[in-house]
Structure 1
Amino acid sequence: MDLNRFSQQISDAAGDTTRSIPPVDKWDPEFCGNMNMTIKLDGSWHYEDSPVGRQSLVRLFSSVIKKEDDNYFLVTPVEKLGIVVEDVPFLVTQWEEDDDSIVFTTNVGDRFTLSSNHPIELRNPPKALGAPDSTPIPYVCVRTNLWARINQNVYYQLVEHAQRRHKNGRQQLYVTSEYEPFVIGELAE
């Protein structure tokens, strides 16, 4: 696998080097095999067991990630290469309020507003994170079928910002964005 060639295909398909996201959902190239690339639990990218040090390269690759069933791929219009993702491909590392909205930023620079198009879902995290088995944590949809885990420091900040309500015998912590409530945690009553 030639990373430079693959990177050039992505750049050519995107048309420029800005942060636009190519239309990977419309690309359906032939599967070319697996690439020795892993996105670790901490959100770092590794190629052949070495960290990818150039953030610009990580951002470029993150713009062409695609999930089909339970498998992740990096795609161009002419190639599809399998990669390993230990949990999800992104981490939410920052948040801010903007009027009546919450705006998240991921570890690769994606910015999006928490909304019905980018909802939060509580999931059980991988055991390697060390969370108790029965404690779901919040994940948020970044792009089609691609999710981010909300990083612990961001989660604690959101908890400070959250409101409480009682629903179905549970106490829910929720935040509001675009006038819609999003549950970030639940506690037994």
Structure 2
Amino acid sequence: MVFQGDDTVTDPTGIAAAAGRASKKGPPPVHLWDPPFCGDLDMEIRPDGSWFYNGTPIGRPEMVRLFASILKREGDAYFLVTPVEKVGIRVLDAPFLATDADIGAEIAFTTNVGDRVVAGPDHPIEMRGTADAPRPYVHIRRGLWALIDRKTFYRLADAAMPAESGRMEVHSGGTVFPLEI
């Protein structure tokens, strides 16, 4: 896979081309694919949701969404996969960033790559970190999580209600999520 300065891919048979074809049909079934490992790419997802290739930011949101659609997690490792190849990438925290939420009877999160999930049993909100430095996450799909950005977490905290225990919590999808560690 070779990128040019404008993020175009010069290898039409590579992983980016396959991702482009798959994305036109909806989310690809990456959980069903187990191709041979082809090595690691110098690709990294940073905690702020930005994607880098060879130390250079991938500036085209469409390209990032394309790669996000073929992201797979196995244990603590992350891969971009197609039916015929699998390459390793680095994820420094969570692969996605929840950048907004519609907060009402349910909480619908939107990520930096356009995923939209409603918090509930299949998409739990989880607090990590410490009481002094909490880090909120929401499950997006198949072991892939999104860090909830600060402004969205403050909006969740504003909508939270105290539980009998005194801890603050939010409700969505018939599930209760504490917002404290």
Extract unaligned runs of 5+ from structure 1: 125-131
Question: 1-side partners of 2:31 and 2:73: how far apart?
Answer: 9
Extract unaligned runs of 5+ from structure 2: 4-8
CA offsets, 1:135-181, max 9 Å, x none?
A: 432211000110111111100011111001143xxx32111112321
Question: 2-side partners of 1:30 and 1:74: how far apart?
Answer: 12
Alignment of 1:114 with 2:96, yes or no, is no
Runs of 4+ in 1 over 4 A off after TM superposition: none
Per the normalisation by structure 2, the TM-score is 0.88
Higher strand share: 1
Alignment of 1:101 with 2:99, yes or no, is no
Question: 1-side partners of 2:116 and 2:22: how far apart?
Answer: 22
Alignment of 1:29 with 2:35, yes or no, is yes
Per the normalisation by structure 1, the TM-score is 0.85
Question: 2-side partners of 1:133 and 1:67: how far apart?
Answer: 28
Give the equivalent residue in structure 1 for 2:145.
147
CA offsets, 1:22-77, max 9 Å, x none?
A: 10000000000000100011110000000000000000000111111110001111
Structure 1 residues 32, 86: CA separation in 2 closer, same or farther (over 3 Å shift)?
same
Please give the residue correspondences for 1:1-189 in structure 2 after superposition, counting only pairs within 5 Å: 1-2=1-2, 4=9, 5-14=14-23, 16=24, 20-97=26-103, 100-124=105-129, 135-167=133-165, 171-186=166-181
Instruction: Please tell me the root mean square deviation across aligned C-alpha atoms, in Å.
Output: 1.7
In the TM superposition, what is the alpha-carbon distance from 1:183 to its structure 2 partner? 1.3
In the TM superposition, what is the alpha-carbon distance from 1:13 to its structure 2 partner? 3.4
